[in-house]
Amino acid sequence: MTKALVNIDSVTGGEGACAEFLRQTLAARQFEVELQPVSPGRSNVLAFRGTPEVVLSTHIDTVPPFFPAREDAEWIYGRGSCDAKGIVAAQVTAAERLASDGMDDFGLMFLVGEETVSDGARAADAAPRGAKYIINGEPTGNKLALGTKGILQVDIRTRGRAAHSAYPELGESAVEKLLDILADLRKMPLPRDPVLGASTANIGVISGGRAPNVVPDEAEARVLIRTVTDSAELRHRIESLLGGRCEFVFVRDTPMLRMEKLDGFDTSVVAFSTDLPSLTRWGRPLLLGPGSIAVAHTDHECIRKEDLVHAVDLYCQLVNQLKKTMNDELAQHSAISHQHSAKQAKKMNPQIAQITQIQEKE
């Protein structure tokens, strides 16, 4: 299935055929399937069995350029093999296994647009379905990610006065102003977090000036910080550093995110961002997937077949464990409520009331 998915070109903006393939695949496996329109010709694919208390989710779009699948004994190659079509295949296979084991009340959700603006995730978040947990799939080397760093991007522009470079005193250099500002920014200490580690800053784009013999009247830089704490305090410090010295605008602020930890899984921390910050109404987040982020987005993107098979086991194990946690919590609540007052519990939650009634009979 990974190869079939890779061979359908679904570079962000053209996910229609891939969504239709998954709709048919999942309908044939007795899932209740829904195409959720995001923009003309583009839809998320939602597939449920009962109420989706636990949802396995990833994205179906890829970065450009498209290139088709090939394989050898150990690996599958091709655009999206690692990020994230191998993951789609692993989640579908896990869902099939769970269903044949008699599991219900879970679902699958495959989103468009993750590689650009997460418009698929935002469309899904506008219509939540009562999920308690969402297991997002991105290449984490099959480890449970404890957190993802956030993104704070600031675009900076300085202005000066052009002059003949033989008479610099007649002008004012926008480039030198910008260099001073960037030097100060680089000296600014960035927050650390015990779990997520250090914040890092990248001056990704810098431009300015007109000619070697002209004092530059304009310059700009685009700086992106991978954040590990709430960004408010950092924004404030950047504002006081830059205020009055240049024009600047925060063009992106995606929060860092902490995920659920579960016993029995290897864990890691990842620096990349996912759809999860845009999926705030789909339950508590978990992040796990096969493959290495180091080959994602490259011209040698690939995934090890063995890792895909292992991921199927891990997804089944995760769903089972989360459902068990939910049942335990429900039972615990009901025991406490029962001590208090069974009547009150009845008002609070019909499911708890049901368990309480069973206990009363016993």
Examine residue 83 and tell whether it contacts Zn ion (CB under 5 A).
yes
Is there binding between residue 217 and Zn ion (CB under 5 A)? no
| Total residues in contact with Zn ion, by rule CB under 5 A | 3
In whole angstroms, the minimum distance from the beta carbon of 84 to Zn ion comes to 4
* Catalytic entry in 15, 53, 114, 260: 114
CA–CA separation, 293 and 145 (whole Å): 13
Q: Among residues 49 and 85, whose Cβ is nearest to Zn ion?
A: 85
Which residues in 190-216 are b (16+ Cβ under 10 Å) and which e? bbebeebeebebeeeeeebbeeeeebb
Q: How far apart are CA 258 and CA 233, in angstroms?
A: 18
Rg of the chain on CA atoms, in Å: 25
Question: Any idea how long the chain is?
Answer: 362
Does residue 114 have an active-site annotation? yes
By Cβ distance, which residue is nearest to Zn ion? Answer: 83
d(CA 327, CA 344): 20
Is 18 a residue that touches Zn ion (CB under 5 A)?
no
| Binding flags for Zn ion, 94-133, as an x/- string (CB under 5 A) | ----------------------------------------
Residue with tokens 């760093």: 149
Would you say 111 and 87 are in contact if contact means Cβ atoms under 8 Å apart?
no
Closest contact distance (angstroms) between CB of 63 and Zn ion is: 9
Q: Are strands 144-148 and 267-270 parallel, antiparallel or unpaired?
A: parallel
Measured from the CB of residue 7, what is the shortest distance to Zn ion in angstroms? 18
Spatial distance between the Cα atoms of 312 and 310, rounded to a whole number of angstroms: 5
| Per-residue contact flags (x/-) with Zn ion for residues 137 to 176, judged by CB under 5 A | -x--------------------------------------
Q: State the nearest-atom distance from the C-beta of 112 to Zn ion, in Å.
A: 12
Interaction pattern, residues 225-264, with Zn ion; x per rule: CB under 5 A: ----------------------------------------
- Quickly count: other Cβ atoms within 10 Å of residue 71's Cβ: 16
Taking CB under 5 A as the criterion, the residue among 8, 46, 84, 175 binding Zn ion is: 84
For residue 153, the minimal CB distance to Zn ion (Å) is 19
Q: How far apart are CA 265 and CA 318, in angstroms?
A: 9
Residues near Zn ion (CB under 5 A): 83-84, 138
Residues carrying an active site annotation: 114
